[in-house]
Amino acid sequence: MKKIEAPTLELAYAEAARHFGCSVTALQVEIIQFPSKGVLGLFKKSAIIVANLPQTSPSPLSPEPEAEPVVERTETPVVYEDDELVLGDKFYEQDDDFEEYPDEQDGDYYQLSAQECADEVKEQINILFKDICFDINEIGVSVYDENTLLVEFTGPDAALMIGKEGYRYKALSYMLFNWINAVYGMQLRLEIAEFLKNQEESISRYLINICDIIDHEGRAQTKVLDGVLVQIALKQLRDRYPDRYVAIRSTRDGGKFIIINSYHEY
């Protein structure tokens, strides 16, 4: 019997399977605590399970399973050169599943114009944050483009809602996007005390050298970027290089970076 704690139930189940050396379906699992993302980064809870592998005696008539061949695995070294991430001779491939705001959503939404959506979201979001402890102005909601709403937090304490390393910004962005996109089918652009504007300017300056490498060599990759920054960089690079393969990849420790290459190489 093994007690396991992990950020999600999926990771907890995977860790249990790894610990017992079996598939997830062979385990007996009791969920002690369901995970919770909390509110604005607060009151977050991990998943806690207790897993056990039942002992089964093999049938005397059953043949012994053949031993599976051992496949030797080689690890690709991760090296940094002048803040550039190099993974041996090849990129570490992973599905490009880190899109924070998908381009298309299926479902039924209110049949409202973009401006009507903005007006309704503005009314409801100000009710939602009416009793917040931060001193902020009325929350502004406007139409950024035909598919996107711009939500702006301003006021004396607005910057406090960003949080250290932007953790509150990311939590608030995730919460508001899932509401606005699910109900209205709109995308979200969240601005808190010019945080997004400053991040975009910072990424633009960083990408100058990356773009020079792409223009001369045809391919490049960024350093590991934070979750907010990697999305900003992805959009800027795709806008600048619409004819190239631009995608997010992950290191083995979960860091995110962007590769830019020619489509024919994939």
Question: Class for domain 115-193, per CATH?
Answer: alpha beta
Orientation angle between helical segments 114-128 and 167-184, nearest 10 degrees? 130
What's the CA gap between 72 and 66, in Å, rounded?
18
What's the CA gap between 175 and 197, in Å, rounded?
20
pLDDT tens string 199-234: 889 999 999 999 999 999 999 999 998 777 888 899
pLDDT at 59: 45
Residue-by-residue DSSP string for 151-172: EEE-STTGGGGT-GGGHHHHHH
Band (50; pLDDT cuts 50, 70, 90):
confident
pLDDT at 141: 95
Contacts of 191 (CB under 8 A, 6+ apart): 150, 151, 152, 153, 197
pLDDT at 3: 87
115-193 has the same fold as 79-103+196-265? no
pLDDT at 261: 92
pLDDT tens string 75-88: 444 444 444 444 44
The structure tokens 């599943």 sit at 97
pLDDT at 63: 52
Orientation angle between helical segments 227-240 and 195-217, nearest 10 degrees? 50
62 has a pLDDT exceeding 50: no
Q: Which CATH number fits domain 79-103+196-265: 3.40.50.620, 3.40.50.460, 3.40.50.1820, 3.30.1370.180?
A: 3.30.1370.180
Could you give phi then psi for residue 86, rounded to 5 degrees?
Answer: -120, 125
Strands 187-192 and 148-153: parallel
Cα separation of the two ends of the chain: 45
Band (243; pLDDT cuts 50, 70, 90):
very high
89 has a pLDDT exceeding 70: no
**Per-domain residue ranges of the chain:** 2-52, 79-103+196-265, 115-193
Q: In 3D, which of 245, 209, 252, 262 has the Cα closest to residue 96?
A: 245
What's the CA gap between 169 and 119, in Å, rounded?
22
pTM here is: 0.51
Average pLDDT, stretch 134-149? 92
User: Average pLDDT of the chain?
Assistant: 79
137 has a pLDDT exceeding 70: yes
pLDDT at 38: 65
Q: In 3D, which of 142, 202, 193 has the Cα closest to residue 168?
A: 193
CA distances from 208 to 156, 224, 260, 263 (A): 34, 16, 14, 22
**Which of 95-99, 150-154, 179-183 is predicted least confidently?**
95-99
**Which of 56-70, 156-170, 207-221, 234-248 is predicted least confidently?**
56-70
pLDDT at 91: 42
7's tokens: 């950020």
